[in-house]
Structure 1
C-alpha cells in the first residue's frame, strides 16, 4: 500500500490550524482537506508536544514550564503580560508568585544544628511557661465557668418567695448540679445563689445524705368538684381501647362519640388520662416529630451579628494541619479578626473574641453583639463561654447536624481555598501559614469585590464608604443610558444595597416583625 506524502507548505498550514489556543476540530478539518482523521490526530499530537503549556492548568505546570514562563514575560509590559496569561490559561497572580519564587530561590539559609537545638530548648521553655499561664487562667475561670454551666442546666423554677413548693425532681437535679459545680472549683454558697436558694436550704435538703421530699403534697386535701370519678376515667380507657376506636386518636374519638349523642370528656381530658396510663405513645410509621427552630438573626448595620468558625490549612507533612480561627461580620462580610494556630483550643478562641471586641469597640455598643457558630468543642468550651459572658456577647449555635446554619463563614473558607495562589501542597510551617493568611485577609477586605454586596469590598461596606460608591455607579449608568437609549431595553442596573442581612432565609413579614421587636 503506497504512503501519501504531503507537501511541506500544506503540513505547516495544517499545523497552525491545529495549534492552540484557536485550534480547529479534527473532523471538520478532515472533511475540508480530505486528509484522513488518524493522520490529523497524529499531527495534532506533535503540535501539542511542541506547545506543552498551552493546554495545561496552572496546577499541572512543571518547574521548567514555570521558569520558561518567567523568562518569556520578563521583557513584556503589563498589558502584554496579561494577554500572555490569558493565552496560557493562568492568572497574573500565579505568574507573579512564580517570579517571586525565582527571585528567592537562592536565599534559603540552613541554620546551624547547635543553634536549632538552642532554639528548640527556648521554644520548649516558652511552651512550659504558656502551659503554666494557661493552668492559672483556667483555675481563675473555673468558678465562672462552673456557674455558667449551672445557670444553663439549672431548673428555672427554684427562685421566688420563701416557702415555695419545689418538686423532688427539681430538688435532686439542683443538688446534683450544685455538687458538680462545687467539685469543679465553685464555692458552695455561690452555687446556691446562682439557683436562688440559700445554703441553709441546700443543707436541709441533703441532711442525712439523701434529698428529702417536700411533705406538703403528701397530706390529704379535699378533691376538686370538677374531678373525674374513677368510673369515668375507666370509661375513657375502655372506650379508647374498644374495637371501634382502638386505632383512633382522641381528637377523632370525641367527635364520633358526639355523633352518637354521647359525651364523656373533652379531647384534652382524653389525652391527659391516656398519658397517665402510658397509652398515648407515638404509633405512626413516621418518626416522632422533634421541632428545632432555625437560628434567626438579622443585621441592619456592622457589628450586630458576627459568625465564626475554624478551618484546617494543610501542611506540607501529610496528616498535619494548621487551624485558622476566623470571625466575619455578617452585614459587611468583613473579616474582623483571625489567628492561625497548630491546635484547637478554647484559650485561643477566647483570645480571638477579645481581640475582635477591642478592635471594633464592642464594649461601647448599646445592644449586645451576637456571635454565631457551629457546635464544635472550642465554640462550646466553658472558658470561651465565660469570656463571652464577661464581654457581654450573646452566643448562638447552629442546629445539630445541620451543615448550612453557618453559611457566611463556610462561604468565606471556600473563597480562600479556591484562590489561584492558595498553596495546595501545604504550608511549610506556622509562620508561612500566618503570613499567607494575613495577605489573604488584606486582599479580601480591601480588594475583593464581593458579589453578595453588589461588588464592593467588605471594608467599604463596613465603614460606610458604599453609599458614595453606589451613587457614583448609578449616575454613570444613567448618563450612559441618556447618551445611547437605543442600547437599553429597560431600566439601568439596580445598585441598591440590601437594608438588612439574615442568617437564614426569612419572609418579609417575619423580618418586619423581628425588627419591630428589636426596636421596642
Structure 2
C-alpha cells in the first residue's frame, strides 16, 4: 500500500480548494490516487477546520460547514491579510462578511441552545478571544517595529558610538524627544533606549535632571575637575624633571635614555612618558638635528577597469644569467582586466629608453589611439625617467605610481612574476644568453595568454577574455552545469557554480569596495 507524505497531501488538497477548484475525478486522473483516498483526505482537512468545499466551482453552493470554516479562518486577519486570503481562495470580502452576518443571525434565531451547542458556542467564543488577543499582540509588535525603524534612521547622528561617550546637552534633549515619540507610536522604552545606545536608567537620570534644573548636562567633567589623582606629580617633581633634562650631561639626550641613566645612578623621578608630557607642557619637545619628519605617503588613486585596454600594469624583473652578478631584465606589461600579457621585451640593462620603446610598440599592437589609458608601475628609475614620462604624455597615457616600498600597490605585476618564476617549465639553470631568455619567455607568454585558465577571471584564458569570447564560454558552462543538476539534483545542495562574468577589476580599490569584496568572499 502506497504511503504519501504530508507535503503531498497538502498539495493535493490545495488543488481541491479555490482558486484551483479541481474535481476529485480530475485529480484522480492526474495523480493516480484513488478517489476514496482523496475523499478521505478532504474530510480530514474539513474536520480540522479547513475550508475544503465539495463544490469548489461556485462558493455560493458551499455547505454551511465550509462557509463557517472560512469565517473562522478569516476572523483573525486584518484587512490586507483578508484581501490576500480572498484572492488566493477566489472569494470576495463581501461574500465572507455576508456569511459572517448569516452565521451570527443564525445563532440569534436559534433561541435557546442545547448543552452541546452552548459548549460549542463557549469554545468558539474562547477561540475568538484568543485570536483577538493574538491579533492585538501582533499589531502591537508591528507598531513597535515600525516605530523603532523610524527611530533607527535618526539615532545614529545623535547618540551613535560606544558606551561612556560624551553626549552634548542638545543631543540628550533630542534623544529624549525621539524616545518619547517612539513610545507614543508603540515602542517600549527599553527597546528604544537600546536602539539609541543608552541605558533606560540613563534616560531616567536625564529626565530627573531636566525636571530639577531645566537642563541636561554631563557632570563628569565637573566631578573630574574636583578630583585629584593619587599619582599626580607635584610641582617640585615637575621642576626637577625640567632641571634634570637641561643638565649638561643630558642636554642632547631624549627621555628614553635619560630615565635608564638615572636608574643606573640609583635615582627614579618619573616614567619616560611623564618626562615627555612635562617637557611638552613647557614646549621643550621638538624635532632636532638633520633627521626629517616622517612623511605619510598617500595611497595612489584607485582605478576601475570594465573592459580591456583601460588599465595596464607593468614592471621589470631579473632573469639570472650564467655570469654571477649579471642579469637580464624582463620588461612586461599586463592588462589588469583580462590578465593578458600585451607587451614584453628583454634587455641587458634597465633604462627609461627601453621602457618608452616598449610602451610605444604595445600601444601600436593593441591599436590604442584614444587618450585615457592608465599605466601603473612602481617608483623605479625606468618608470619615472624623463624619456618614459615624455612618451606617456605624447601617447595620452595617464601614469600611476605605487607608494615607496609598498609592493601591494602593484599586485598584478607581482602576481604575474610569481607565476612566471614558479611555473614548472621555468629553467633550473641560469639562461645561457639573451636569445635563450627571449625564446623561453616567448613560449611562456604564448602558454599564459592562450592556454592558462586564470582563477581570477572564472578560469578562462586571458586571450579569451581580452577578445570577448568569455561570454559564450561562460554561458555554455552554465548550461552544462544546469543540465547536470537537472539530471542528478541530489549532488547539489544549493545553486550551481557561479559562472557569471566578472565585470569590474579594481587597481588599488577604495576601502568601501575592498570591504564589500571581503564580505562577498565570506558569504561565498
- Report the TM-score, using the length of structure 2 for normalisation: 0.42
- Report the TM-score, using the length of structure 1 for normalisation: 0.43
Q: Which has the higher contact order (CA 8 A, sep 6+)?
A: 1
